[in-house]
Amino acid sequence: MEVPASLRGCVSEIGFARSEGLARRAGFFPPRAEASILVRWSPEGEAAVNVLGPLTRAQRKSFDAPPLYVRVGIQAGRARALLGVPIHEIADRVVPIDDLWGGTGGRLRDSLASCDLASTVERFEAAIVQRLRSANASTFREELVVHAMRTLDDGVGEVASAARDIGLSDRHLRRLFRDDLGMTPKHYARIARLRRVLVRGPSSSWARLALETGFHDQSHLIREFRDLLQVTPSTFRKSEPQTGGNRLRTR
C-alpha cells in the first residue's frame, strides 16, 4: 500500500493482511531496527493497537491471525519523536499505544472499531501528522543517526569511523543509537552485516561469502547466525521463514 505523501518522512511502509477467522500460526520475526504500529481487529470489530519495538534478535512465537491487521512501519531513526520515548525502552517489547500516547492513543484505538482499510489509513495519517507537529523533534539529531546507519549498512567503516564521519565521539554515537534505535551501533552493524549476506544469497561458498560481506571467516558468520537468528546459515536458507511478515532488515 502506498504511503501518503504527508508521512513519507517518517513511515517506511503500510501493509495489511486478511484471514478467514482466527487461525493459530507460527511466526518468525527477524532482528530489525525498525519499530512499527500494529492494528488487529477481533471478529466483533474491536481494535487493538500496539507498538512493536525493534528486535535485537530473532523471535519465534505462535499467534492468532486476526481477520484483518494493518502494520505501519516507522523508519529506523525516526521513531523517537513519533512515539515519545527513548526507543531502548520498547526494544524487544510489544507495548499498547495507550501506554505511549495516553488519551490520544485510546481515542485512536476507539475510532478504529469496525473501520475499513481506507478509513484506518486516513485516521493514522491524521494522528501521526498531529503527533509530529507537537513533538519536540531534532531533525539534525535524526539525520546524524541516519547518516551513521547508512555507513554501517554499506559496511564501508567500523563504528569508530562512522562516529568520526559525523563528528561525534564513540560514546555520543552509542547514546544516540540507544535512544533512537534501541540498540548500540555495534549491534546494528551486526544486523546490517547479516543482511548483506542474505541479500546476496549463497552464490559462492559460505567461506567466500563471509569474507566478501565483512565477517572474519566462515566460523564468525555461523556464530552470528546462531546468535542473532538462532539457526545455522544453511538451515535458514533452506527454510526461508516468512510467516512473521518481516524479512530480515536493518531499517
Whole-angstrom distance, CA of residue 166 vs CA of residue 211: 27
Q: Please give the grid coordinates belonging to residue 88.
A: 531502548
pLDDT in the model for residue 206 = 86
The answer, yes or no, to whether residue 247 has pLDDT greater than 70, is no
Q: How far is CA 50 from CA 60, 61, 113, 192, in A?
A: 18, 17, 14, 26
Contacts of 28 (CB under 8 A, 6+ apart): 58, 59, 60, 241, 242, 243, 244
Class of residue 187 by CB neighbours under 10 A (exposed 0-12, middle 13-18, buried 19+): buried
- What was the pLDDT predicted at 199? 82
Q: Are 12 and 75 in contact (CB under 8 A)?
A: yes
Lowest mean pLDDT among 103-112, 174-183, 199-208: 199-208
User: What's this model's pTM, rounded to 2 decimal places?
Assistant: 0.87
Residue 45 has pLDDT above 90, yes or no: no
DSSP string across 5-43: GGGTTTEEEEEEEE-SS-EEEEEEE--BS-EEEEEEE-T
Say which DSSP state 76 is in: T
Between residues 126 and 140, which one has the greater pLDDT? 126
**Residue-level pLDDT at 25:** 77
Q: Where are the domains of the chain?
A: 5-134, 139-239
CATH code for residues 139-239: 1.10.10.60
At residue 9, does pLDDT exceed 60? yes
Q: What is the mean pLDDT of the chain?
A: 88
Q: What is the DSSP letter of 106?
A: H
Residue 96: pLDDT over 50: yes
The residue ranking higher by pLDDT, 206 or 108, is 108
Q: For position 243, what pLDDT does the model report?
A: 42
Residue 244 scores a pLDDT above 70: no
pLDDT (0 to 100) of residue 20 = 72
Q: What is the pLDDT of residues 159-200, one digit of tens each?
A: 888 899 899 999 999 999 999 999 999 999 999 999 888 887
Q: Name 32's bridge partners.
A: 55
Please report, rounded to a whole number, the percentage of residues in the chain having pLDDT higher than 90.
58
- The pLDDT value recorded for residue 249 is 57
Helical residues (DSSP H) of the chain, grouped into ranges: 79-83, 97-101, 103-111, 117-134, 139-154, 159-165, 170-181, 185-200, 206-212, 218-224, 233-239
